[in-house]
């Protein structure tokens, strides 16, 4: 591979284009552009990286870098390794896109399921009490009953979504 006048080579330019594309698409999933860039940089590394190395690549403050890495770890796109380099923590990106997809979406979908089911299951008894109370006006009872039906449909959806997440985690959708 021949270097061009700026010292770049086709492989470096190709990596930069893919890293930019990863960063551009990460915002579709609620991650910032810079988090996507960091994941892209780590994706192409052939070794684990320290926060200091990431900071150098990204020109970010250490606190912003720590936040980015923590966010990527919560999405299970980056893992913290048990080993250390010169007493510094090491991090590595998940490079299998199938696994990264599975990790990212199971975390996000499970959070949605937990939050929504919790809220729905909390208000159903309250709506039921309102519907059954003798002193509830007819119009309010009718509206509460409509809401109750909607929320029960919502629970059916979240039960289905839970099964989807479990199947996604089990790798059922990945015939490679």
**Predicted confidence (pLDDT) at residue 41 exceeds the cutoff of 90:** yes
**The Cα angle at residue 113 between residues 69 and 126, in degrees rounded to 5:** 135
Distance between CA atoms of residues 146 and 142, nearest Å: 6
- Structure tokens belonging to residue 82: 């048990």
pTM of the predicted structure, to 2 decimals: 0.76
Contact (Cβ atoms closer than 8 angstroms) between residue 38 and residue 54: yes
What is the dihedral angle through the alpha carbons of 46, 52, 54, 60, rounded to the nearest 10 degrees?
Answer: -170
Percent of the chain with pLDDT over 70: 95
Residue with tokens 């199971």: 106
Is the pLDDT reported for residue 7 higher than 60? no
Residue 5 CA to residue 29 CA, distance in Å, equals 37
Give the pLDDT confidence score for residue 48 in this predicted structure.
94
pLDDT greater than 80 at residue 8 = no
pLDDT per residue over 75-118, tens digit each?
Answer: 889 999 998 888 899 999 999 988 888 988 999 999 999 999 99
Tell me which of 33-42, 112-121, 127-136 is least confident: 33-42
Q: Is a pLDDT exceeding 70 seen at residue 1?
A: no
What confidence tens digit (pLDDT) does each residue in 143-152 have?
999 999 999 9
Q: At residue 89, what are phi and psi to the nearest 5 degrees? A: -65, 145
């Amino acid at each position: 591979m021949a270097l061009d006048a700026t010292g770049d080579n086709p492989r470096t330019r190709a990596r930069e284009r893919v890293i930019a594309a990863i960063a551009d698409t990460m915002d579709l999933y609620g991650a910032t552009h810079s988090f996507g860039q960091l994941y892209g940089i780590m994706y192409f590394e052939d070794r684990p990286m320290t926060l200091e190395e990431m900071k150098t690549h990204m020109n970010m403050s250490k606190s912003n870098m720590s936040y980015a890495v923590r966010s990527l770890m919560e999405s299970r796109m980056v893992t913290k390794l048990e080993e250390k380099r010169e007493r510094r923590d090491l991090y590595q990106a998940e490079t299998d896109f199938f696994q990264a997809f599975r990790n990212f979406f199971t975390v996000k979908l499970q959070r949605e399921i937990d939050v929504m089911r919790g809220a729905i299951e909390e208000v159903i008894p309250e709506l039921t009490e309102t519907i059954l109370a003798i002193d509830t006006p007819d119009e309010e009872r009718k509206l509460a009953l409509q809401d109750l039906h909607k929320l029960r449909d919502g629970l059916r959806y979240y039960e289905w979504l839970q099964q989807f997440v479990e199947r996604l985690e089990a790798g059922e959708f990945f015939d490679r």
